[in-house]
Amino acid sequence: MSAPNYPSDVRKQATALAYDNPNRDAAPRVVAKGYGIVAEMIVQRAKEAGLYVHESPEMVSLLMQVDLDARIPPALYQAVAELLAWLYRLENGDAAGESAPSPAPLSPTRNPRLPR
């Protein structure tokens, strides 16, 4: 088998979000982001730490626009809240022997616009 033929400008991207203190913080922060080998390291370290890795090219594309160590902007609150709610259901559903459906991908009608 041969490897897929991807355009050279397609690079892997990854971001990581964190809540330092969910009771105090208004929104999660982008604590890591990168392309290529850096993206692969972000994913690898998350998996090694036992963190869930969700793949969403649309979400990553939006989060890559947020400055490192900055809180996500209000335009992304709904999309990130849906992802966090899904993760919560997934974690609690696993304990009960159930599974949660994957969150809906961002569609052009739901795709938030970040302020420039």
CATH code, domain with 20: 3.40.1690.10
Structural domain count of the chain? 1
The rounded distance, in Å, linking the Cα atoms of 86 and 80 is 10
Q: Is residue 25 part of a domain?
A: yes
- Domain membership flag for residue 7: no
pTM: 0.70
Cα gap 62→101, rounded to integer Å: 22
CA distance 78 to 45: 26
Q: Please tell me the predicted confidence (pLDDT) of residue 20.
A: 77
Any domain includes 33: yes
- pLDDT number for residue 4: 46
Residues above pLDDT 90, as percent of the chain:
47
What is the predicted pLDDT for the residue at 76? Answer: 95
Cα distances (Å, whole numbers) of residue 97 to 6, 17, 85, 89 = 39, 27, 18, 12
The string of pLDDT tens digits covering residues 57-110 is 999 999 999 999 999 999 999 999 998 888 888 888 754 445 555 555 554 445
Residue at 39 is within a domain: yes
- The answer to whether residue 3 sits within a structural domain is no
